[in-house]
Amino acid sequence: MQPSSPWLVFRHVEHEHIGTLAPILAAAGIAYRYVDVFRGEAVPENLLGSPGVIVMGGPMGVYEAERYPFLLDEQRLIRQAAEAGFPVLGICLGAQLIAAALGAKVYPGSQKEIGWYPVEVTAPDDDFAATLPSRFMAFHWHGDTFDLPAGATRLFRSDLYENQGFRCGRNVLAIQFHLEITAAMVDEWLADGGCQRELAEAPDVDPAIIRQQTAQWAGELEDLSRKVLGRFLSEPRP
């Protein structure tokens, strides 16, 4: 039997990699390859036989396409895959790109949400969110938000942002918070120069507190990521 083609994973900065998704993909028998747009790797014109798309986070805004033209290319491919029924998963910037690709507005929020904040399940009977705690601690690092695309089902919200995750049909899942995060990734982000510059502009955010809270809550979030992302990845595919 020939191995299946790998899913395409769009990465916008090196430290925002797939994290907890790696073992979940492996358990589902899904191969993947990074498309590192931050290194100048081009977004393909079509799926190139790939059975799925994952779009990771990044520091840029969806509305900065003049500076980062690959954002429009990603939206085109997201729309193409979604309309064809192929699975599309987006996290943080990836979720915002999905929202934009499906016709929703993406814009700066009222304030940055950086660190550990509670998330509320808004669709407890939905298959992707079933059996999750009604409220749990999740890791956030964003300042933008989005409206829901037409026909989307909201799955999660937070006190600061009403839209923290949604699905469109069974093949499109967008998560604003970092469901893929691990404790090691938090350390990696806090040490990154770009992240440090952003933290310097958010004096209310204390890295020491983030590290303490990571030790407390990262393990539980990893368990939840296995449930939510595992359910999505096990969906029947074309």
Residue ranges per structural domain of the chain: 7-233
Catalytic position from the list 12, 178, 195, 222: 178
- pLDDT at residue 204 in the model: 84
Which residues contact residue 117 at a Cβ distance below 8 angstroms, ignoring those fewer than 6 apart?
A: 137, 138, 140, 158, 159, 160
Give tens-digit pLDDT for 103-160.
999 999 998 999 999 999 999 999 999 999 999 999 999 999 999 999 999 999 999 9
DSSP state of 175: E
CA atoms within 13 A on the CB side of 66: 1
Tokens describing residue 211: 């590290």
Q: What is the mean pLDDT of residues 37-55?
A: 94
188 included as an active-site residue: no
Give the whole-angstrom CA distance, residue 221 versus residue 186.
13
pLDDT at position 19: 96
How confident is residue 1, by pLDDT bands cut at 50, 70 and 90? very low
Active site residue 12: no
Task: Determine the Cα–Cα distance for residues 18 and 20; give it in Å rounded to an integer.
Answer: 6
Mean pLDDT for the stretch of residues 43-54: 93
Parallel, antiparallel, or unpaired for β 135-146 and 106-121?
antiparallel
The reply to whether 180 belongs to the active site is: yes
Active-site annotation holder among 92, 113, 142, 168: 92
Query: Which tens digit of pLDDT belongs to each residue from 58-116?
Result: 999 999 999 999 999 999 999 999 999 999 999 999 999 999 999 999 999 998 999 99
CATH-assigned architecture of domain 7-233: 3-Layer(aba) Sandwich (3.40)
